[in-house]
Amino acid sequence: MADPRTGGILIEQLRKRYGSGDTAVDALKGVDMHVAPGEVVGLVGPSGSGKSTLLKCLGAVIEPSGGRMSLGGEVIYDDGWKTSDLRVLRRDRIGFVFQAPYLIPFLDVTDNVALMPMLAGRSNDDARRRARELLDALDVGHRAQAMPAQLSGGEQQRVAIARALVNRPPVILADEPTAPLDSERALSVVAILNQMARQYATAIIIVTHDEKIIPTFKRIYQIRDGRTHELTGEETP
């Protein structure tokens, strides 16, 4: 049987220090975490505990200070970046979903999604076909020609999820993706992320404070003072 730790996201003893000397801040002090392909885990923790720092390291937005990270079975950081082009890594292996959808206001829904495969070198027709398939799967196919401003908040977030998934990255990093949504839409976004994780064998981390969605996670990591702990059932916030 394949080693379940080889795919998805594997983080071992990850450290991040901001600054140096007397003013240094050790934001991550040895984080361990594993998310299998097809799995969605929650990441919770108080303000300043290091959640954003961890997502930025995983998303190759900032450089860790030490430790090891693998995405989709490939070591991307081992006391230094192991990949020569971080831009390509971010484009092809990681999908980002943020609190706000950040759609491009002057492109229609299809082109907002198709832009990603186009940037990865696919033809316009192929990119649009992929975009439409995913928009259909996310139940916003009927709005494919609408402009972002004509969509509801929940529809915009589903388009943002389509954009994160369209290049079929092994990893999705979602930072408070349900914060502006009401209960029903928040639960629907999480259900969609779970379904997409299973369908495309994507490993998904959702950073959240949202009490509406926390009970839906099968596994939750809590980060506190720069270290992660996996919460058991009784400890779940």
Ligand X SMILES: Nc1ncnc2c1ncn2[C@@H]1O[C@H](COP(=O)(O)OP(=O)(O)OP(=O)(O)O)[C@@H](O)[C@H]1O
Q: What does the binding site for ligand X look like in residue numbers (CB under 6 A)? A: 18-19, 25, 27, 45, 47-53
| Least Å from the CB of residue 11 to ligand X | 14
Instruction: Choose between 36 and 86: whose C-beta lies nearer to ligand X.
Output: 86
Angle at 54 between CA 112 and CA 48, to 5 degrees: 110
Best CA proximity match to 40, nearest among 191, 210, 227? 191
**Rounded-to-integer distance, Cα 219 and Cα 230, Å:** 7
Instruction: Choose between 3 and 22: whose C-beta lies nearer to ligand X.
Output: 22
| Least Å from the CB of residue 59 to ligand X | 12
Instruction: Choose between 53 and 112: whose C-beta lies nearer to ligand X.
Output: 53
| Least Å from the CB of residue 32 to ligand X | 17
| Least Å from the CB of residue 153 to ligand X | 21
| Least Å from the CB of residue 61 to ligand X | 11
| Least Å from the CB of residue 52 to ligand X | 3
Instruction: Choose between 21 and 233: whose C-beta lies nearer to ligand X.
Output: 21
Instruction: Choose between 114 and 174: whose C-beta lies nearer to ligand X.
Output: 174
| Least Å from the CB of residue 161 to ligand X | 21
Instruction: Choose between 18 and 106: whose C-beta lies nearer to ligand X.
Output: 18
The amino acid at 101: P
Secondary structure of the chain as H, E, C letters: CCCCCCCCEEEEEEEEEECCHHHCEEEEEEEEEEECCCCEEEEECCCCCCHHHHHHHHCCCCCCCEEEEEECCEEEEECCECCCCHHHHHHHHEEEECCCCCCCCCCCHHHHHHHHHHHCCCCHHHHHHHHHHHHHHCCCHHHCCCCHHHCCHHHHHHHHHHHHHCCCCCEEEEECCCCCCCHHHHHHHHHHHHHHHHHHCCEEEEECCCCCCHHHCCEEEEEECCEEEEECHHHCC
Instruction: Choose between 157 and 222: whose C-beta lies nearer to ligand X.
Output: 222
